[in-house]
Each structure stands twice: as structure tokens, then as C-alpha cells.
A and B are shown apart, each in its own frame.
Chain A
């Protein structure tokens, strides 16, 4: 993968790449020597990572492996001790409009006084910039996103009165409104029922089909081959990254999780 070209791409990305083609194409996210520590304990150690454009990638690893931290450091929420991140060849702060983020559902207080539509509208705030208020155009975009995740009937529902799965869909809709090229999602399947999980993964696959890059912190190893075409094994250090069919094997799982792991990889 060393010969990957680090070129810039604008918002119109080449549509519909398969995993293999994508692997040979443009690098969407490039992480160099990234090290993050909380106090004195390193959480991420010297991470080098290239995420090709158009892949649907899972980041897997045990608890405390630094999966969420990796995403947060890429997005500039956390300050790394060392290392750099580029999005389509440029630093992140110049490329914000290309990137959308779905935080962990538990990271916010759902008793906040607001309704579903309002939360989804927040996805438009970034492109609006300071002070400017969202208007009819932003509302229309938010309603479309709600429709996409099947939450349109709940648009005026107080967010605390939504189920966990519905709240997750609202977060997903908020990211969809951003109309980005790269989506980072922190455990979007956590605490959702089977119906919601299928609904969400279908949306993610649609995004990939439209040429978007989707990076997901994922916990359920059983579903990795079924859902994703690219995978990164992480446990403070990067263990491996590549196409699921090449590297999703017992060897890497054992290296990452430290115990003798046996997962029957469905082909």
C-alpha cells in the first residue's frame, strides 16, 4: 500500500468503487505517526493509517484499544501528542465540509429540551457558519435526512421520548445532512435492535455505493465480514489494516484481542 497516491479530491467523488478498486485509488484519510496519551498513559501509539476512498471500514479492537480516541484525534476533538492527519491530502481544518461525525449516543444528554428535527438541523450549522440562522433550505435537507432514516413521523418528538435505536437514527440523519464525503461513526450499532441495525447498515452501504468513505467503530466481530469491506485492527498500536477478505483472520484477531480467537469467516 506504499504506492498509494495522496491526491486531493473534491466533493464529487468517483461513484461506486468496489473494495479492490478503492484500495488502489485515492487516499481519503491519511494518519501519520499519531500518538495520543491521557496523562502519562499512551492510548494510541504511533499509528500510521491510510483509509482509501470509497471503503466501508470497521475499526475493531478490545475495550480501551483507543478506537474512539482514534476517531476523535482524526477529527481534532482530542489533541494528539504527535503525528498528523490529512483528509484528501490537506489538514483537517481545511476539509471540514468533507467530513461528518456520528458521536456515541451516550455522549450527550438526551433530556435536552429540543425535538428530533432540531437535532438533525444541527448538521447544517457547519456549512452555515457563525451567526447565520438555518432557513427553509436547511429545514428541507433535514426533513429529507429524517425520511432516509425512517424517522419522519417523529420529527416533532422530544428527543428523550425516542428509543435508543431512534436516537441513533437521529444522529445518523444529522450526519447525512452534512452531505460529506467521509463519515466517521462511533459505535452506531450500540444498543439498537436488529431492525434498526439492518436499517443503519443499509444506509451505510448506500453511502459507499455513492462513493462515500465510511469509517465505523464496531464491536460485533461476527458481523464484520457481512457489513464491511475494509477493516482495521487496533489495540493501542495498529495491528493490521486492509480488505476484510484478506486480513480478517484468526491470526490478526488473536494479535488484537490477545486470546486465541476463532471466528468462522463467512465467505
Chain B
């Protein structure tokens, strides 16, 4: 199957449609909530949560013996939440910094989860196979009911986000101030964190424990490059996330043996790289262009200012001077001079230059410019 086949089949083929919808919704909700995680500087929280969910999956299987997605994800949710609140507990109750707490919980829970997985594999039970798909995810196992669950949780998340938009923004920007205004910051914090845990748990089946945090971070990091408004950032992150899901599924479906989760994550990373380079405000490319342009302008201004100081000493501002004097103090200046002539600041006459009226005034105002900008 090539990409074209995929896009002609996506609306008719049940499996393709289910997987595509699932990954799109997953991308949207993780992108949205990822914006909050990134702005709270809790980028690694997602990684810790997803790893912390693994023992929950294994324990849910051991206790119930069932292997349906909902039971296992419920287990993941519980152990993800426990991990998250332990992290918070460690940070508030000890001297440890949050990165230490995150790393500690991540490796502790993941290690325990792997231990349980190997234990399960050694059991004489035909039902045991397939739990390890939660490590890297397997989008092909998505069924319609999974997609419905995702859609419902995403809708709830969207409604809560719109309701508490003002409170979320306030807490993200200035937590102490939020407290003084009388808002219960703990409640808002728990609300945001719970939704992040939910979104991650939803994605475990598709993207897996190991790569899940990228779904949270990549769309948000890409979106931040394009806008200076929180609303637009969250919206863009959702769009980027959804497109990563769709494109990732399309590529993996058209290239037979590629597993979907990693492809989705790579597509999301392409969004990030593209945004880092090409976004007009914060992108590397335009920043470099602005830098070069500024340097050229400065060169011009420097020469003009130098000319001004010479011309100032004469009654007649257009008193001609030799180009040599410029070369002596300003380095090689033919190009700069030509630009000044083009701007009509300077006239050339053989080896002599002189300032025009316009050039003199521009030079005189060079120093005042900063003042004017401030007023």
C-alpha cells in the first residue's frame, strides 16, 4: 500500500479509519495538555508518568487475569497517579529538586513494571502474551470502543479547560499571585495534573510507555514557536498533535512493517524542527536574517556617525573630505559609501565625499533614536 492508497482507503476501511481517528484524537489531546506541561516547566513529568504507569498494567493483569484494554489502562491510571503524587510529595517534603524526584520515580516504577512483566511471562498461562506491547505501543490493536473512550475523555478535558481557562492561565503564569487572589491553587494543580495523567494513559496502547512523553512535548514545543498567545498555542499544539497522528499512521500503514508509535513521534519531531527553523518570530532562520541585517545597518550608522563628527567641525556641512580619511578609521568602506550615496545621505565627487543635508540630519538623530523609542 502506498500513501495514495492509504488516503483513498482511510474513509472506507474500518481498521484504518479507527486507527487514524484514534491517533488523531490522541495527538490533539496530548498536544493540548502538553502545552500546560511545557509552560509549567514540567516537560519531564510526562516521561515519569508514562513509565510509572507500567507496573499498574502488569498488576491489573495479575489481579484480574483479564487482558482487555480498559482494565489494564485503569491499572495504568492508578499507578500513574500514585507516581505523580509521590513526585509532588517528594518535592514538597524533602530537599530534593523536582528533576531528582522525577528520575527517581521514573526508574523505580519502570523497574518494578519490567520485573512484573518478566514474572508474568514465566507463568504457565496462554493468556500472558502481548502485555509488552505497552512498552512501544501498537496502534493496530485500537478498536472502535477505544476511540470512543478517547473521544469522551478528550471532550471532558476540553470542557474543563474552557471552564477553568482563566484559572489555568493564572496558575501557569504566576502561582503565588494566584494564591493571593484567593484561588485554591492545589485544586487547579491537581486538575491539570490529573488530565495530563489521563491523556498519557490513553496513549499507552498506541504509542507506548517509552515514547509517550514526546507526544506531550513535541506538539507544544512546536506550537510555542508560532504564537505569543496561550490560546493559540494550545490550539496549534492540538492541530500539530492531530496531524502527527494522522501522518504517522499514514506512513506506517503504507510502509508495511513500521510500527505506528515511533513514526508518529518522528513526525511530531519534524514539526518541532521545522518550527524551530522557520517560525517568523522565534525561528533560527529569521533570527539569523535579522541579525545580519542589523549588523549591516549598524555598519552604515557607524560610518555615518563618523562622517557627522567630521562635518560638524565645519561651518558648511557639505564641506568635502577625502575618502582616505574614512578608510583610515573605518576600514574598507567603498560598499558602505555606495549604500549611503544610494540613500542620498552622501554625495561623491572623485576621491572626495560630502554629507547632504538629509544625511547630516539623520546622523544627528541617530543618538536620539533610543530616547524617542522609549517615549
A119 at interface (Cβ–Cβ under 8 A)?
Answer: yes
Which residues of chain B in 137-158 are interfacial with respect to chain A, using CB atoms and an 8 Å cutoff? none
CB-nearest residue of chain B to A123:
B181
Residues of A within 8 A of B165 (CB): 133
Given A113-B224, A115-B228, A133-B166: A93 touches B182 (CB 8 Å cut-off):
yes
From A69-77, A205-213, A218-226, A227-235, the one touching the partner chain is A69-77
Chain-A contact segment, one of B55-63, B70-78, B172-180, B289-297: B172-180
Residue of B nearest to A110 (CB): B173
Which of A76, A114, A134 counts the most B-chain CB atoms under 10 A from its CB? A114
| CB neighbours of B181 from chain A (8 A) | 96, 125-126
Shortest Cβ distance from residue A230 to the other chain B in the assembled complex, whole angstroms: 22
A259 to chain B, nearest CB (A): 32
> B230 at interface (Cβ–Cβ under 8 A)?
yes
Is the Cβ of B228 less than 8 Å from the Cβ of A122?
no
Q: Answer yes or no: A10 CB below 8 A from chain B CBs.
A: no
CB < 8 Å neighbour of B230 from A96, A113, A131? A113
Q: A76–B180 contact, CB under 8 A?
A: yes
Let me know if A114 and B228 touch, CB within 8 A: yes
> A116 CA to B206 CA in the complex, in Å?
41
Given the contacts A39-B95, A128-B166, A158-B228, A112 and B173 also touching, CB distance less than 8 Å: yes
- Beta-carbon nearest neighbor of B179 in chain A: A77
Stretch from A18-26, A42-50, A55-63, A100-108 contacting the other chain = A100-108
Q: Chain B 100-137, CB within 8 Å of chain A: the 1/0 string?
A: 00000000000000000000000000000000000000
Q: A131-B164, A134-B166, A158-B228 are in contact. Are A77 and B173 (CB under 8 A)?
A: no
**In the assembled complex, which residues on chain A have CB atoms less than 8 Å from the CB atom of B374?**
195
**Chain A: minimal CB distance from B226 (Å):** 10
A115 close to B229 (CB less than 8 A): yes
Q: Which of A72, A125, A132 contacts B176 (CB 8 A)?
A: A72
State the CA gap A109–B233 with chains docked (Å).
16
Chain A: which residue is nearest B185 at the CB level? A77
Task: Give the most central of B41, B170, B233: most A CB within 10 Å.
Answer: B170
Evaluate contact between A107 and B173: CB separation under 8 angstroms: no
CB-CB contacts below 8 Å: B18-43 with A: 39, 41
Which residues 57-104 of A have a CB within 8 angstroms of B?
Answer: 72, 75-77, 93, 96, 99, 101, 103
Bound Cα distance A172, B95 (Å): 33
Contacts of A101 in B (CB 8 A): 176-177, 180
Contacting A125 at CB < 8 Å: which of B95, B166, B172? B166
Residues of B within 8 A of A99 (CB): 180
Contact among B166, B167, B180, B224 for A96, CB-based, below 8 A: B180
Number of chain B residues whose Cβ lies closer than 8 Å to a Cβ of chain A: 28
Does B180 lie within 8 Å of A114, measured CB to CB?
Answer: no
Contact status A96-B182, CB under 8 Å? yes
Q: How far is the CB of A20 from chain B (nearest CB, A)?
A: 31
Pairwise interchain contact A76-B228, C-beta atoms closer than 8 A: no
B169 located at the interface, meaning its Cβ lies under 8 Å from any Cβ of chain A in the complex = yes
Within 8 Å CB of B182, what residues of A? 93, 96, 126
Closest to A156 in B: B228
Residues of chain B contacted by A132 (CB below 8 angstroms)? 166
Q: Does B163 contact A (CB under 8 A)?
A: yes
Chain B residue with Cβ nearest A104: B176
Residue of B nearest to A158 (CB): B228
Interface string of B219-243 (1 = CB under 8 A from A): 0000010011110110000000000
A148 → B minimal CB distance (Å): 17
Which residues of A have CB within 8 Å of B177?
101, 103, 122
Are B180 and A77 interface neighbours, CB within 8 A?
Answer: yes
Residue of B nearest to A160 (CB): B228
Q: Is the CB of B228 within 8 A of A77?
A: no
The closest CB in chain A to the CB of B187 belongs to A130
B183 within 8 A of A: yes
**A101 and B228 alpha carbons, distance in the complex (Å):** 25
B180, A75: Cβ atoms under 8 Å? Answer: yes
A158 to B230, CA, bound (A): 11
CB under 8 Å from chain A, chain B span 63-96:
95
A18 to B95, CA, bound (A): 47
Contact between A108 and B179, CB atoms less than 8 A apart: no
A125 touches B173 (CB 8 A): no
* A243, chain B: closest CB distance, angstroms: 28
A99→B180 CA distance, assembly (Å): 8
Question: Bound complex: CA of A122 vs CA of B174, how far in Å?
Answer: 10
A133 to B162, CA, bound (A): 10
Enumerate chain A residues within 8 angstroms of B228, measured Cβ to Cβ. Answer: 113-115, 158
Q: Which single residue of chain B is at the shortest CB-CB distance from A175?
A: B177
The 10 A-B pairs with the shortest beta carbon distances in the complex, nearest first, are: A126-B181, A158-B228, A96-B182, A101-B180, A75-B180, A108-B174, A77-B176, A113-B228, A113-B230, A112-B173
Query: Residues of B with Cβ closer than 8 Å to A?
Result: 39, 41, 95, 163-167, 169-170, 172-174, 176-177, 179-183, 224, 227-230, 232-233, 374
Known contacts A101-B180, A126-B181; 15 additional CB pairs below 8 A are: A75-B179, A77-B176, A77-B180, A107-B176, A109-B39, A109-B173, A112-B173, A113-B39, A113-B224, A115-B229, A122-B169, A125-B183, A126-B182, A128-B166, A130-B183
23 residue pairs A–B, Cβ–Cβ below 8 Å: A39-B95, A75-B179, A76-B180, A77-B176, A77-B179, A96-B182, A99-B180, A101-B176, A101-B180, A103-B177, A112-B172, A113-B224, A113-B227, A113-B228, A113-B233, A114-B169, A122-B169, A122-B170, A125-B170, A125-B183, A130-B183, A133-B165, A195-B374
